[in-house]
Amino acid sequence: MTIVVTGATGNFGRLAVEALLRRGVPAGQIVAVGRGVEKIQDLADRGVVVRKASYDDPESLRAAFAGADKLLFVSGSEVGQRVPQHLNVIAAAKDAGISKIAYTSAPHADTSSMILAGEHLATERALTESGIPSVFLRNGWYLENYDLKGALEHGLYGAAGEGKISIATRAELAEAAAAAVVADGIDQQVYELGGEGVTLGELAAEVSRQSGRDVTYTDLSPEKYTEFLVSVGLPEAFAAVLADSDKGASAGALYTGTEDLQKLLGRPVTPLADAVRAALA
């Protein structure tokens, strides 16, 4: 049983490969795929099969997926280019005879008005049309999206208002993804994955409580938050997409309210306070 992991050169994919190894999947039955494969030489040293491929290059994907049974399809990071890229992945999976795909999607992809959800919904639809049995892992926001150490100095900024966000660590979401792809068959097609729901004000208060420093959350309009993100170095288009996600969050778009993460992990999700403590350490 060979499992391919795309995006394995990134943070999430690497964690998912490590979770597969911890679950006892033999290293030689894991194929770790990405462009910057020099970043995962350590995985190759542990026996993981490493193959270089680009979402923009169908031939490289076909070669990378050859002989594989299952695919953990980690969504790409090039916002705006992902629909054709993801269609290339799905076509290559079909050519390779992949029997199951677990895809990392976005919260409530089918009903969300967030700009970021559009490419994920298009991918989910293409997966369904492909006929390959697929699981949609609608990952909530990573705790790592928030610079908590930086917040000790500068506070937290956003445009999420009083919206609760079901924050989870990237590592636990990756562990859940490993569990989902390893499982036989498909118990549930859509997983809305997230941890405890907190407002960004509550997150700042937790950082304050643990650090003993006065850490506040400043809520901005989406326009002002875009300007803020540009002022700290983000490209304008991406800043606007992030501000749009916060605007969605203010209306509940990033609140999952399910026990799906716990279900896939087979244990309770790490309490947010503990995850914050680890992030501040």
Ligand X SMILES: NC(=O)c1ccc[n+]([C@@H]2O[C@H](COP(=O)([O-])OP(=O)(O)OC[C@H]3O[C@@H](n4cnc5c(N)ncnc54)[C@H](OP(=O)(O)O)[C@@H]3O)[C@@H](O)[C@H]2O)c1
Restricting to residues 201-260, name those near ligand X by CB under 6 A. none
Q: Cβ of residue 213: shortest distance to ligand X, in angstroms?
A: 25
Q: How far apart are CA 143 and CA 158, in angstroms?
A: 14
Cα 14 to Cα 97: distance, rounded to the nearest angstrom: 24
5, 30, 43, 74: residue in contact with ligand X (rule CB under 6 A): 74
Least distance to ligand X from the beta carbon of 184, Å? Answer: 25
In residues, how long is the chain?
281
Reduced to 3 states, what is the DSSP secondary structure of residue 73? strand
The binder of ligand X chosen from 2, 17, 55, 165 (CB under 6 A): 55
Using CB atoms within 10 A of its CB, is residue 134 exposed (0-12), middle (13-18) or buried (19+)?
Answer: buried
By the 8 A CB rule, do 186 and 100 touch?
yes
Neighbouring CB atoms inside 10 A of 189's CB total 12
Task: Name beta bridge partners: 33.
Answer: 51
Of positions 73, 103, 141, 146, contacts ligand X by CB under 6 A: 141
* H or E element at residue 96: helix 82-96
Binding span for ligand X by CB under 6 A among 77-85, 210-218, 230-238, 257-265: 77-85
Q: Segment near ligand X (CB under 6 A), from 75-83, 94-102, 203-211, 265-273? A: 75-83
Closest distance to ligand X from the beta carbon of 104 (Å):
5
Min CB(93)–ligand X separation in Å: 14
85: contact with ligand X by CB under 6 A: yes
Please check whether residue 204 is in contact with residue 151, taking contact to mean a CB–CB distance below 8 angstroms: yes
Minimum CB separation of residue 89 from ligand X in Å reads 9
Of 164-193, binders to ligand X (CB under 6 A) are: 170
The reply to whether 159 sits near ligand X by the rule CB under 6 A is: no
Task: Find out whether 6 and 30 touch, Cβ atoms under 8 Å.
Answer: no
Q: Which is nearer to ligand X, 34 or 248 (CB)?
A: 34
| Dist. CA 26–CA 187, nearest whole Å | 24
Rounded to a whole number of angstroms, the minimum distance from the CB of residue 126 to ligand X is: 15
Considering only 28, 36, 47, 235, the residue that binds ligand X (CB under 6 A) is 36
Q: Are strands 156-158 and 217-219 parallel, antiparallel or unpaired?
A: parallel
Contact residues toward ligand X (CB under 6 A) are 7, 9-13, 34-36, 54-56, 74-78, 85, 104, 139, 141-142, 145, 170
